[in-house]
Amino acid sequence: MRNKKTIEDSKGQVGIGTLIVFIAMVLVAAIAAAVLVNTAGFLQSQAEQTGQEATAQVSDRVQSVSANGTVTGSSTIDDLKVVVSKSPGAGNVNLANATILFDGPTETQTLTVSSADVGTITDAGGTSPVLSDDSDRFVLTVNEPEVLEPGEEAQLTLISESGAESTVYLTAPETLAEFSADDSVSLSR
């Protein structure tokens, strides 16, 4: 009889051991699930941020309304002035934080834009130098040391704070003979 009691006691011990292993597996599974949910949330927020940055790079652009230069006394063009507005669908574009890549006939330079280089033509919201309204028009003045000779071409690439690029192609008239010093000439293509 004593033998029989030992067998029944060991069955109870095996059942408790199985229960402990089962509880441990449930705890490990719960911890793994929590880690997966946390990682998924982190990846989702990172994907949203990347999407917003990509959208800003594509949409927060400006468009050129006009481009002019000033004729110098030596029949060349300097003091480039480009009137810009927001592109359709663009968010607010802060021109003070923009960069201009000037690609002229003989050299390429990267220029920074400061508030002093941004003039206001129309500012519906009073937010200069931030293009915040579709009717806003600001003029960017580029006092580039390189001048344009008659018939030469250049391009200005305006890179906004978000990384969106807008390119303005400039072409000087074939002749400047009919212009006097300090006259404004159109450089638009």
Q: Is the pLDDT of residue 179 over 90?
A: no
| Long-range interactions of 149-155: CB distance < 8 A, separation 24+ | 149/76, 149/77, 149/105, 150/75, 150/76, 150/174, 150/175, 150/176, 151/175, 152/104, 152/105, 153/105, 154/102, 154/103, 154/104, 154/105, 155/102, 155/103
Phi, psi of 7, rounded to the nearest 5 degrees: -65, -45
Dihedral over Cα of 113, 114, 115, 116: its sign: negative
Task: Determine which helix (DSSP H) or strand (DSSP E) holds 153, and give its type and residue range.
Answer: strand 153-159
Instruction: Give pLDDT, residue 111.
Output: 85
Q: Is the pLDDT of residue 181 over 70?
A: yes
- The pair of structure tokens assigned to 28 is 């490990």
- Decide if 56 contacts 162 (C-beta within 8 A): yes
Instruction: Give pLDDT, residue 29.
Output: 95
Phi, psi of 64, rounded to the nearest 5 degrees: -80, 130
Average the pLDDT over 168-189 and give the result. 87
- The pair of structure tokens assigned to 167 is 């390119």
pLDDT digits over 129-158, tens only? Answer: 888 888 889 998 888 666 788 999 998 899
pLDDT digits over 84-141, tens only? Answer: 998 888 888 888 888 889 888 888 888 888 755 888 887 888 888 888 888 889 998 8
In the block, residue with structure tokens 């704070």: 161
pLDDT digits over 52-85, tens only? Answer: 776 655 667 888 889 998 888 778 888 889 999 9
Instruction: Give pLDDT, residue 177.
Output: 84
In the block, residue with structure tokens 């029944």: 8
Instruction: Give pLDDT, residue 25.
Output: 95
> Whole-number mean pLDDT of the chain?
83
- Which percentage of the chain shows pLDDT scores above 90? 15
- Decide if 67 contacts 81 (C-beta within 8 A): yes
**CATH class assigned to 62-186:** mainly beta
